[in-house]
Structures are given as C-alpha cells and as structure tokens.
Amino acid sequence: MDEKKLLRLLIILFVLEWIWAAVAPFDRKDWLLENILVILFLPVLWYSHQRKMLSVSSYVMLFLFLYFHVLGSHYTYANVPYKEWAATLFGWDLGPGRNQFDRLVHFLYGFLFTIPVMEWLVARFNLKGFIKYLLPVTLIMSTSMIYELIEWLVAELFGGDLGQAYLGTQGDVWDAHKDMALASLGSVITAWGHYYYNRKEAR
C-alpha cells in the first residue's frame, strides 16, 4: 500500500471511530473536554503533512494514539470496559481494582509521540547528535506535566462529577505523578530504541 492510500485509510478509520465515539458517549461534557485536544491537534497534523515533515510511520503512531484517546473520551478514561473485553474475547480475568486504561494512554503518549516529535524537530531545526534524542524526551516530559496542570485547572474550574471525570484520579493521590512517569518512560524507551537501532545500522 502506498503512502497516500495508507493515509487515506487512517483518516477514514479515525473519522469512523470519532463518529462512533460522538454518539451517546458515557458523559457528553467530558467527551467535549477530551476532544478539545483532538480539534487543536488536527491543524498541526495538516501543517506537518503539507510541509512533509513526518514519515508514514509517524502518522501511524499518531493515529494509534488518537485511536486510544478517542476511545477513552467515549467511555471516560475511568470506565473503558477493557476488562470485560478481555474476558469476553480471550477468557482473561484481569481481576478487580483500578481501571488502568488512562495509565496505558499516558505511556503511549510518550512511546508513540517521541518519533514524530523527533522528526518534526529535525525537519524544523536540523538537529543532530545527542540533542536529537534528548530534546524530544524533554518535550514529552514537559508537555506531560503541562497536561496534568491543565487537568487540575479544569477540575477546579468545573468541579463536581465533570471535574472528577476529566481528572480521572480514581482516588489515587499520586495519579499525576504516575501519569508523568509513564509518559517519560515511554519516551525514553522509544528514544533509546531509535538511537540503538541507528547506531547499529551505522556500524
């Protein structure tokens, strides 16, 4: 499949999922808040594509992240029924306890965004050497922190059930710290893997 066909397929799949998620979400107000990020991100994607700044692999990574994010916006992150799906499809009993879907998405933010961010920075600023790997990781870490601050401000602004649904701590006082740590871990893993692969290829 060539690049144009793959990108069209990704767009179609994303639009179909977004329409599905927009129909009767678990919490309409929370869905709207979560999708503000999607709306703001789409012009960035369009700009990067017009300037040919990202590879096809990067668009696949960004699609995967947006897929999980839109899924979480439909159910709210704390109520994605992945345990029920695992039991139905594979017979797995994941047990009681906290819904970990938001932890997965924070990890995926670091894991899937690092290469696209790296490619964008290289295209924009012609980065080379160690800074090529360090800067994307630090940007992922800082934006993860900024997002946690936004969550806190939104929770303070709206309060009540909507604030709690958007914040998604599920009673864990260290929720923000764990989310930032997972995003950082995902970014470090991807950056190190990319560095190791390129170094091996150079040899």
pLDDT for 168 beyond 80: no
Q: For the residues 77-96, what does the mean pLDDT come to?
A: 93
Domain that holds residue 155: 3-202
pLDDT for 12 beyond 90: yes
Percent of the chain with pLDDT over 70: 98
pLDDT for 169 beyond 90: no
| Number of domains comprising the chain | 1
More confident residue, 120 or 169: 120
Residue with tokens 């994941």: 94
Per-residue confidence (pLDDT) for residue 1, from 0 to 100? 67
Tokens of 92: 């797995």
Helices (H), ranges, the chain: 3-22, 28-50, 56-75, 82-90, 101-125, 131-158, 160-167, 175-202
Task: Encode pLDDT of 172-201 as tens digits.
Answer: 888 999 999 999 999 999 999 998 888 766
Residue 127 banded pLDDT, cuts 50, 70, 90:
confident
* Residues 48/9, Cβ–Cβ less than 8 Å: no
